[in-house]
Structure 1
Amino acid sequence: MTAAPYPLRLRPILLEKTWGGDRLAAFGKPVPPRARIGESWEVADLGATAPSGAGGGAQRSVIENGALAGATLHEALRAWGRGLLGAAEPTGTGEFPLLIKLLDAREHVSVQVHPSPGYAAQHPGVAIKHEAWLVVEAEPGARIFAGLRHGVGADELRSAVAAGRVRDVLQSVPALPGSCHTLPSGIVHALGAGVVVVEVQTPSDTTFRLYDWVGEYERPCRALHVEEALEAMARIDAPPPRYVPPRPGRTTIAETARFTVEAARLAPGSVASLAPGGATCIVVQVVAGAVRVHAGEALALERGAAAVVPAALVARASLEAGPLGALVVLSSPCAG
């Protein structure tokens, strides 16, 4: 691979989930008839996944455009190195440092935990998984579950799981379109029914499932990992949600030790610089409207589409909104 870095449009990876629906079709995803598509992996570079997550195999995004069409994001990373990542570091296994998805929760997603930093430090091969959810669509009354109610400990949580009343011990907030919810690795959480989100996360598929709403939805029983979840969880509250302003502009909606997420609302036909002085790559995900990414060459992105703009290009790249304007999520790994 000798092509110079250019913006990479990636092919989505669709995964059926018992809780999924068909609303991702409105975001340009090829949802088959009667399929329950819960996840569209927009940017992925995982050499292995958990059997309880994506089935145990590798999941690597395939490039759709340009000289590297048909190659994977992982192959582009190996070819371009710092030209792609800039000051960001690959994962410990040499993979792209972000995993980005669109989620459609027709039903409640399982109550789950990703390893806390302390748990991960004591278990070789286990990685943390910070997440941020930007609510794109939500039905009236939809909720985000994040964290335990104050005073709830491991014994009470274990009893709530056994009694089927986990909802009673979870904190929850309304799932409002335009709200962004940061979920530090280790927090007990669940995406409520009736919500579509953009999910930005560190690239890990390690998930411990506490409760799966089997009684509520008459679902097939899936394996639970109650004791592992109790050991891996952190007793922390979720940070308060941040919100996308209704007016044109750019704002930070999530910050973790591993990544930053911004939302850019663009007026019709406007042009905005992507990241003057930017030191790392940026993933552009279109939530509403359409944009053209100008970074040496022009790349058109419609609603739902995602592209990786290499670090070598971000300082001189720009976004041009379509005739209806655009709302764009901009995710970047942290330097170092």
Structure 2
Amino acid sequence: MEIMKLLPTGKDYLWGGTRLREEYGKKINLDPLAETWECSVHPEGLSVVANGRYVGKTLAEVLHKHPEFLGSKVDNSKKLPILVKFIDAKKDLSVQVHPDDEYAREHEYQNGKTEMWYVVDADDDASLIYGFAHTVTAELLRDAVAEGTLDKRLQKIKVHKGDLYYVPAGTVHGIGAGTLVAEIQESSNVTYRVYDYGRVDKNGNKRELHFDKAVEVMNMGVAPDVGQKPKLVHYYPGCSREILCRCKYFETERIQVKQGFSFSVMETSFQVLLCLSGDGGVEVEHRRPTRFSKGDCLFIPAGIGRCHVIGEAELLKIRC
């Protein structure tokens, strides 16, 4: 049992930029490079192990052979229930919505998609779409999409570096231009586009919309207040830690390492470390440290025991 450094799959969606390659060292020959799926067993974007005894194998292959690495909470399914990615939105993403588990499994044979966004960086004028500004109906939305007036119905929010947004399935949303996001989500790739600004792909074709399915799954009420609340930060010698999100699918913690910190990976759940800045290493007793730097993602098998992080870095730590 060992810590696995992962190599991501990239996506060249038309709204993407170049920051993931230029600033985060992603050696993926796509232009634009919109997303990198850092920790994924989803068949549309498999992560590959970059070190150790499993080098060259997909994470899906490793976990299929060793479901115990997932932990007792999830090993019955033999599949990693989450997907961790970076998103570089040079342009606005489409206005979209994701279904819940029940609908997605019945109609798409996948999980639904509840997600969270941690804003790694944002331009001064960056914003995002989160739900509706007022209650709507399917008929009103259909007319607004046809007339190009959907903008008036949506809740727009200015975003800043360090912001956090929890986006449950059914919430209409869209990441805005100039935003770099770390996204933690259910392992799913089901997206229903409601509106795409009339854009065309590299072949000159408009991207498909999924309006009828979207209105079946979306929450049409007024969006909740998602203003940033003060976060409870715990300070320790060598680091600070704060819980960003805790839901039925995952828990995400932000850790600012100044010198070092220790944590235990029990038999109940795997853990994932995503490095947002800086560099360092993770030590496990009687093993060489696994090094990481800005942009790296590490999968830590359940039951590996006590881990100690050294270095100076900003990390997201994810577990089920």
Give the TM-score normalised by structure 2: 0.89
Given candidates 17, 25, 31, the residue that maps to 1:28 is: 25
Q: Check the 8 A contact 1:178/1:243 in 2, yes or no.
A: no
Q: CA deviation at 1:291?
A: 2.1
The SS at the match of 1:156 is helix
Show the 5 A alignment for 1:208-223.
208-214=192-198, 220-223=205-208
Q: Check the 8 A contact 1:208/1:225 in 2, yes or no.
A: yes
| Letter paired with 1:224 | L
Worse-superposed segment, 184-193 or 124-133:
124-133
Q: CA deviation at 1:198?
A: 0.4
Q: Check the 8 A contact 1:130/1:256 in 2, yes or no.
A: no
Counterpart of 2:308 in structure 1 is: 318
Q: Taking every aligned residue pair, what percent have the same amino acid on both sides?
A: 29
Unaligned runs of 5+ in 1: 48-57
Counterpart of 1:176 in structure 2 is: 160
Q: Check the 8 A contact 1:133/1:197 in 2, yes or no.
A: yes
Q: CA deviation at 1:14?
A: 1.2
Q: How far apart, CA to CA, are the structure 2 residues paired with 1:243 and 1:63?
A: 37
Distance 1:306 1:242, change over 3 A: farther
Counterpart of 1:54 in structure 2 is: none
Q: Check the 8 A contact 1:295/1:318 in 2, yes or no.
A: yes
Distance 1:90 1:167, change over 3 A: farther
Distance 1:176 1:293, change over 3 A: same
Counterpart of 1:263 in structure 2 is: 254
Distance 1:109 1:124, change over 3 A: closer
Q: How far apart, CA to CA, are the structure 1 residues paired with 2:299 and 2:15?
A: 29
Distance 1:330 1:308, change over 3 A: same
Give the TM-score normalised by structure 1: 0.85
| Letter paired with 2:89 | A
Counterpart of 1:38 in structure 2 is: 34
Counterpart of 1:75 in structure 2 is: 61
The SS at the match of 1:87 is coil
Deviation digits for residues 174-195 of structure 1 (CA, Å, limit 9, x no counterpart): 2110111110011111000000
The SS at the match of 2:306 is coil
Show the 5 A alignment for 1:92-171.
94-117=78-101, 119-120=103-104, 123=107, 125-171=109-155
The SS at the match of 1:312 is coil
Aligned residue pairs: how many?
Answer: 310
Q: Check the 8 A contact 1:242/1:254 in 2, yes or no.
A: no
Deviation digits for residues 67-112 of structure 1 (CA, Å, limit 9, x no counterpart): 1101111121122222x111231585x4211111100000000111
Q: CA deviation at 1:166?
A: 2.0
Q: How far apart, CA to CA, are the structure 2 residues paired with 1:228 and 1:17?
A: 22
Q: Check the 8 A contact 1:115/1:129 in 2, yes or no.
A: yes
The SS at the match of 1:103 is strand
Q: How far apart, CA to CA, are the structure 1 residues paired with 2:105 and 2:17?
A: 36
Q: How far apart, CA to CA, are the structure 2 residues paired with 1:307 and 1:171?
A: 35
The SS at the match of 1:74 is helix
The SS at the match of 2:14 is strand
The SS at the match of 1:234 is coil
Q: How far apart, CA to CA, are the structure 1 residues paired with 2:62 and 2:83?
A: 16
Q: CA deviation at 1:328?
A: 0.2
Q: CA deviation at 1:126?
A: 4.2
Q: How far apart, CA to CA, are the structure 1 residues paired with 2:307 and 2:272?
A: 12
Q: How far apart, CA to CA, are the structure 1 residues paired with 2:199 and 2:49?
A: 41
The yes-or-no answer on 1:231 pairing with 2:216 is yes
Counterpart of 1:50 in structure 2 is: none
